[in-house]
Structure 1
Amino acid sequence: MKAVLFDLDGTLIDTAADFIRIIQDMCREEGREIVSAELIRTQVSEGARAMVQLVYPELDSTDPIFLAHRQRFLDTYGENIAVDTDLFQHMPALLAQLEAHNIPWGIVTNKPRGLSESLLQALNLTERCAVLVCPEDVRHTKPDPEPMYLAAQQLSLDATEIIYVGDHPRDIDAGRNAQMYSILAAYGYLPLAHKDDLAAWQADCIIHSVPELQQQLQSLLKLN
């Protein structure tokens, strides 16, 4: 193994607090029941549509009114992208160890490129991240292996030499489809419909904390 790729939200970076704040503010503005932070957290990896649907469950996601609410959500998030967002606890030490051993790390995400780049810039990660693959870069997004192969190509590595870490079934499927070593980050934003049977995801490994992830990577990458 020669490199590590991460999913972004819920795996590398803890973005939930900002999404929770914005969604709950939307509830207050509309005079609607406040959606719980825990429920919002389970929908983060499902994207903006799923989070906004929590506020407006009666609206179809193709309804122009719903689309306007979704755009308002995205605009608000883009303008305040890292108010309460940071790397997961202990992740800075993990990244520093990879860099100290010249192990490149990067990101394969379904988050739009503009938001992904803004987030990395806000957290001073842009220059440290060896590769960033977003939906705009490929024809088929995760769980298709195309973004995984593109990341491997940009790293000048074979996909089988790369570890992929994610917190959603599509992350694990994409890693497995590309024959990468897949690690399920069970500390992340596990989707409600899949969180009770993690073994069914068929990851190569399941970890429950960032320190546990660091130990696993040390073993796989043979770090001292």
Structure 2
Amino acid sequence: MNHEAAVRFPKAVLFDLDGTLLDSAPDMLAALNVMRAARGDAPMPLSQLRPHVSRGGQAMLAAAFPDVAMEERSGWLQAFLDLYQQELGKHSGPFEGIEAMLAELEAAGSVWGIVTNKPEYLAQLLMPLLGWESRCAVLIGGDTLPKRKPDPLQLLVAAERIGIAPADCVYVGDDERDIIAARAAGMASVVALWGYRLAEDDPIAWQGDRMIEAPQTLCAAAAWPHGR
């Protein structure tokens, strides 16, 4: 690969949503605290919830209600999602540096999209709130297809829908499942270290192609990995 090719932005970048593009934990917290208040529990602090957000709704319910049996909590998911929908976009926004990074990608002619394990209807509702509905080239949720991350199916279908080979795409995510899915799809990967992680997580062990501390770093073409 010549130097000129090495410093180009990728042809396409696919992103995880929660904990990667969007600091959505405050909206999740507001919904969970409504549920806690209904049970007479004190509000949960944001710091207690944040590490669990990328693990999904059941993990967040477990963090918010550790003394409730899993069998009981498992039936609360839809109630949580309904409350979260009411809070959608009220307390959250893109991480600092995300909008600048997306603008650089767009200016370079790169295509970008979202592949998330969040239910598709909730992800779609967020797009106009963020001003991304006409900018995001593809959006695939956790219930769009029969399989989801860490399975590569979502990433492969996203690449097909935007008409770009997986080897020419980069996937950015803050969870090990993101990096496993990217590797299985034949995509280069970026570990978003600014996202949500448990204390025991070891992002080095995930073996992503790049580990990036802040979105602003990705405003430079040289910061991006290229085809696997």
- Tell me if both proteins adopt one fold, taking TM over 0.5 as the criterion: yes
Number of equivalenced pairs: 217
Alignment of 1:96-111 (within 5 A): 96-111=103-118
Using the alignment, how far apart are the partners of 2:121 and 2:214 within structure 1? Answer: 29
> Residue 85 of structure 2 aligns with which residue?
78
Structure 2 residue aligned with 1:59, among 37, 52, 68? 68
CA-to-aligned-CA distance 1:90-129 (integer Å, 9 cap, x gap): 2111111111122100001100011000011221211100
Between 20-29 and 42-51, the greater mean CA deviation after superposition: 20-29
Matched, 1:42 2:47: no
Using the alignment, how far apart are the partners of 2:128 and 2:145 within structure 1? Answer: 22
Using the alignment, how far apart are the partners of 1:155 and 1:69 within structure 2? Answer: 36
Structure 2 residue aligned with 1:178, among 180, 185, 202? 185
Q: 1:71 to 1:136 in 2, by over 3 A?
A: closer
- Residue 32 of structure 1 aligns to a residue in which SS? coil
> Residue 201 of structure 1 aligns with which residue?
206
Matched, 1:141 2:141: no
Q: Does the 8 Å CA contact 1:35/1:54 hold for their aligned counterparts?
A: no
Using the alignment, how far apart are the partners of 2:224 and 2:190 within structure 1? Answer: 11
TM superposition shift of 1:189: 0.7
Using the alignment, how far apart are the partners of 2:119 and 2:15 within structure 1? Answer: 15
Show structure 2 runs of 5+ residues with no match.
1-9
TM superposition shift of 1:33: 4.6
Q: 1:221 to 1:44 in 2, by over 3 A?
A: closer
> Residue 162 of structure 1 aligns with which residue?
169
Using the alignment, how far apart are the partners of 2:58 and 2:102 within structure 1? Answer: 31
Structure 2 residue aligned with 1:12, among 21, 33, 38? 21
> Residue 7 of structure 2 aligns with which residue?
none
CA-to-aligned-CA distance 1:55-103 (integer Å, 9 cap, x gap): 322333333xx34533222111112200011111121111111111221
Between 32-41 and 92-101, the greater mean CA deviation after superposition: 32-41
CA-to-aligned-CA distance 1:125-174 (integer Å, 9 cap, x gap): 11100011112332211011111110111111111111110000000111
Q: Does the 8 Å CA contact 2:193/2:214 hold for their aligned counterparts?
A: yes
- Residue 206 of structure 1 aligns to a residue in which SS? strand
> Residue 24 of structure 1 aligns with which residue?
33
Using the alignment, how far apart are the partners of 1:133 and 1:191 within structure 2? Answer: 25
Aligned residue type for 2:122: L
Show structure 1 runs of 5+ residues with no match.
none
- Residue 11 of structure 1 aligns to a residue in which SS? coil
Q: Does the 8 Å CA contact 2:100/2:216 hold for their aligned counterparts?
A: no
Using the alignment, how far apart are the partners of 1:173 and 1:125 within structure 2? Answer: 27
TM-score by length of 1: 0.89
Using the alignment, how far apart are the partners of 2:18 and 2:223 within structure 1? Answer: 25
TM superposition shift of 1:218: 4.6
Q: 1:28 to 1:101 in 2, by over 3 A?
A: same
Using the alignment, how far apart are the partners of 1:103 and 1:59 within structure 2? Answer: 46
Using the alignment, how far apart are the partners of 1:112 and 1:128 within structure 2? Answer: 20
TM superposition shift of 1:22: 2.4
